A and B are shown apart, each in its own frame.
Chain A
Amino acid sequence: MLDKGRINSIQLLLLLVMAELATSLFTVPSRAIMAAGPDSWISLLVVTGLYGLLVAWVTLTLSQRFPTRVFTEYLPDIVGRVPGKILTAIFAILLMHISGGILSQGSAFVHIAFLRETPSLLLDMVFMGAAFYGAYLGIEVIARHTVLLFAFFTVSVLVVVLLVLPDVNIDNFLPVLENGYMPVILGAKDASAWRGEVFLILMFYPYLNLKQEASKAAYGTIIIAVVFSTLITMTVIGVFGSEVASTQLYTVFKLARYISIAQFIERIDILIVIIWIAGVILKLAIFQHAAGIAAATTLGVKNYRWPLLGSAIISTAMALIFFGNQAQFDYFFDKIWPLYAYSIELFFPALILILALLLNKKGVNES
């Protein structure tokens, strides 16, 4: 383990929750509504939840076999040294690629909704700079930051939801299951990919101080994430209805902008902006930490901070190359992202887990 930090199960839980929710909470509703209409909250509640629990189970079982090392450290033990190194390198690069996606998602929002004339590159660099600093300070600092941010996050989301409640129109939830179950399942296609980000437990499990509380953290993550996204999706549907909501790019932002109580409490979009920016930075820091550790273990260096710097630069470059414009970006998230995410989050760890079970590989001298 390159990072000597220790975190407790609540911190791990909230860390994974924030990794799941920080960006998805604001982008998932309109994608899900586009696919499943007024029933999309059911897909978020049930389908994504089940997928998330499955991912949590697979990755947790795998991690528990090697409780003192991160995924990229024990991977070569299972599949052999050379293939192992290749796989860990790919894994590290994929983490950087996902970071790039998060980064461009974050800066796109700021760019489109606020700083129209500021170049994306600068926004990317600012975001990445802050996240790099967090990842550089280590897992303990990230975990503490998470807890603070989660409190603000919860309060902001609840305030937004409560303040738009007067505008909720129950009719918007009807008709239930108009086109059967298929759209509900398809509606979870995108959102599931985010729920599966609980797979990060592969990279954070060793830092947990009380290993017996790991399952609480892993499954709790899915439950909290599902509750939050269902709540916000229901609010979006209730207020905007599925037709309007599916045309909007940043539905939840529009929701916050729609708040108006007695012409007095209004123009408080800042609530969403704050948690969006802070959330993206935190999520990036989490992914950067994972990517930095993965890169460092692949390279076999003792200090993960230089690999971290490399990972930050590569991720920023990836954000510019692969997610350069919004169309590219939307195409990626509509078409590629689900399959891509399923393979990293579920199939790859599941494969490794099966291999580990077959070869009966376990952490050496690890209780």
Chain B
Amino acid sequence: MRNRPLILILLLLFVFMNMTLSGCWNRREVQQIIIGTGLGIDIVHLDGKVQYRLSVLVLQTAQATTTGDTTQMGGQASVGTARVISSQGDTLYDAVRNWNLRSSRQLFLGHTLIIVLGDSITPEEFGQVLDFINRHKDIRFRTLVVAYNGKAEEALQAHPEFESLASMEIQQLILQNGPRVSKIGAVNVFQMTYDLLTPGRQLVLPRLQLVTPPESLSQSLSSEDKSDDIGPQNKVVQVDGSSLFKGYQQVGWMNDYETQGMLFIKNQFRGGIIPVSLLGQNYSILLSKASSEIKPEYNGDRLVINVKVKATGAIQEGGSEINEITPQNIRQFEQALNQEVTHRCNAAISKSHKLDTDVFGFGDKIHRVEPEMWKNISEQWDEIYSGVEVRISSDCHIEHYGLVK
């Protein structure tokens, strides 16, 4: 150990060598990057060639400080301005790099909160999109994916009402508020990949919509404005319903009623209001603790899938017809509730039968629990799916009825 000082000097030399040699390879100061929080993917055709258009929702932080300085006496909040910036390329990564042609800052996708898929993506390109998302080192499995019936670029331009960025708003809508309504089936990159790769499953994405807020609609109506022509900047985002895929092909949409049924079946219903009508009056029942069980079986020669939905709920709101709730009444309520739940589930199933896509993952379930059965039918599953009978049975209970007797 006589040569300790030598080692120390070598070590220091090494450190400094690193400094000078590698100093700029991967270093990006935060001022040199711009954070893309929302990613929109569209396909455009340029001279007959397919081009990927990448629209990124960014926060222009440079503006933040300048406005922050001038408005110190009060004015705009100094968070910067949200903008959507698009670039185009032969491939998605080409588009990412082409971004640098017009931007002084590097695009950083490590904080992509949502990915919006426009309706122009065809099955041919969808595979590439999936690969890009999976292969990119910065995009995380947790990033949410939504489908938009239009240009994704437009969707990102929506006006955020509560958060500083529309992407954050969409993320919170889906993750935080979604389980309170259960009309949105949250899907992240991993779940999308999982649904696409696992045999016997089909992809369902939540549907993003741009809506003109009712309050501004009534305003513009009263002032006799051209209400149908407001740009996306004046619209707000709303997530409800879902977009159904068969393979990579987008085949149709589900409304929120059917989506709720689908969530019941897929065991993703976390809570929400189910309105039921009883004796000509409407009651709100808040469901929580829902669960489902899927059991495929052969009924003679026919494949039947039994779905059992269980839930507990509470009466939250009601009319004046019933002024005292008795155990008999409760049974009536439960019956009505069961009917309603079954109805929703059946609506979802008939939609999926109509579009001929197994969005519930019944095939996957058969594969898991009845591998022998699956071996026989896996080849023709796509063809026979629309003919398979699905039996819904609902078993809901009412736990309490709020603060009124």
A–B interface present (Cβ within 8 A): yes
A residues lining the B interface (CB < 8 Å): 112-119, 122, 126, 129, 133, 171, 174-175, 178, 240-241, 243-244, 247-248, 254, 257-258, 260, 263, 266
Chain A to chain B contacts (Cβ below 8 Å), 5 pairs: A117-B25, A118-B22, A175-B371, A243-B197, A257-B141
Set A119, A129, A178, A248: member contacting B14, Cβ < 8 A:
A129
Q: Is the CB of A244 within 8 A of B26?
A: no
Complex contacts, A122 vs chain B, CB 8 Å:
18, 21-22
Q: Is the CB of B190 within 8 A of A171?
A: no
Q: Does B132 contact A (CB under 8 A)?
A: no
In Å, the complex CA distance between A133 and B190 comes to: 41
Beta-carbon contacts under 8 Å, B139-170 to A: 140-142
Complex contacts, A254 vs chain B, CB 8 Å:
141
| Given contacts A122-B21, A243-B194, A174 and B369 within 8 Å (CB-CB) | yes
| Given contacts A174-B369, A254-B141, A257-B141, A244 and B25 within 8 Å (CB-CB) | no
Q: A329 CB to closest chain B CB, in angstroms? A: 17
Complex contacts, A248 vs chain B, CB 8 Å:
134
| Given contacts A113-B137, A174-B368, A175-B367, A260 and B142 within 8 Å (CB-CB) | yes
Q: Does B12 contact A (CB under 8 A)?
A: no
Complex contacts, B134 vs chain A, CB 8 Å:
247-248
* Number of interface residues, chain B, beta carbon within 8 A: 26
Q: Is the CB of A240 within 8 A of B190?
A: yes
Q: Does B391 contact A (CB under 8 A)?
A: no
B residues lining the A interface (CB < 8 Å): 7, 14, 18, 21-22, 25-26, 134, 137, 140-142, 175-176, 190, 193-194, 197-199, 364-365, 367-369, 371
Q: Is the CB of A126 within 8 A of B141?
A: no
In Å, the complex CA distance between A240 and B195 comes to: 11
Q: A80 CB to closest chain B CB, in angstroms? A: 38
Set A171, A178, A244, A266: member contacting B371, Cβ < 8 A:
A178
Q: Is the CB of B368 within 8 A of A171?
A: yes
Q: Is the CB of B142 within 8 A of A126?
A: no
| Given contacts A112-B137, A243-B197, A258-B142, A117 and B26 within 8 Å (CB-CB) | yes
Q: Is the CB of B198 within 8 A of A243?
A: yes
Complex contacts, B371 vs chain A, CB 8 Å:
174-175, 178
In Å, the complex CA distance between A53 and B142 comes to: 40
Q: A14 CB to closest chain B CB, in angstroms? A: 25
Q: Which residue of chain A is the closest to B171 with respect to CB atoms?
A: A263
Q: Which residue of chain B is the closest to A260 with respect to CB atoms?
A: B142
Q: Is the CB of A244 within 8 A of B190?
A: yes
Q: Is the CB of B137 within 8 A of A116?
A: yes
Q: Which residue of chain B is the closest to A254 with respect to CB atoms?
A: B141
| Given contacts A117-B25, A171-B368, A241 and B194 within 8 Å (CB-CB) | yes
Q: B93 CB to closest chain A CB, in angstroms? A: 12
Q: Is the CB of B26 within 8 A of A116?
A: yes
